[in-house]
Amino acid sequence: MADERAFYVLAYDLSDDRRRAKIARLMESLGERVQGSVFEAWLTPGELNRLVAKAKKVMNEREDSLRIYPLCAACRPKIRVEGQGKPLPPPDVVIV
């Protein structure tokens, strides 16, 4: 199904405070922060493509990076968290 959501871990490293703040706001609009510059999100392919397109407009590709790790359904239960926090659960209801 084309609109099926998949689970992603997104991590960024931006050298400029202003760009970093913009990327953080973008990530916060679609996912949940789990570490300083690491987010988890359930995204459709379209949402992921829009996120990447918006991020590229902010980033300096010579200095910054955005890493996107898809986690398959079989791998997700194997996420191990030590200390505080739990992996982001699948969305029950998505409000558009």
Question: What's the pLDDT at 35?
Answer: 92
DSSP string, 74-96: TTGGG----SS--PPPPPS----
Question: What's the pLDDT at 93?
Answer: 55
Q: From 49, 51, 50, 44, select the one nearest 3 (Cα to Cα).
A: 44
Mind listing the domains of the chain with CATH numbers?
6-72 (3.30.70.240)
pLDDT at 94 over 70: no
CB neighbour burial string for 45-77, b if at least 16 within 10 angstroms, e if fewer: eebbeebeeebeebbeeeebebeeeebeeeeee
Q: What is the pLDDT of residues 9-22, one digit of tens each?
A: 999 999 999 999 99
Question: What's the pLDDT at 95?
Answer: 53
Threshold 0.75, pTM exceeds: yes
User: H-helix or E-strand containing 17?
Assistant: helix 17-30
Q: What is the pLDDT of residues 32-72, one digit of tens each?
A: 999 999 999 999 999 999 999 999 999 999 999 999 999 98
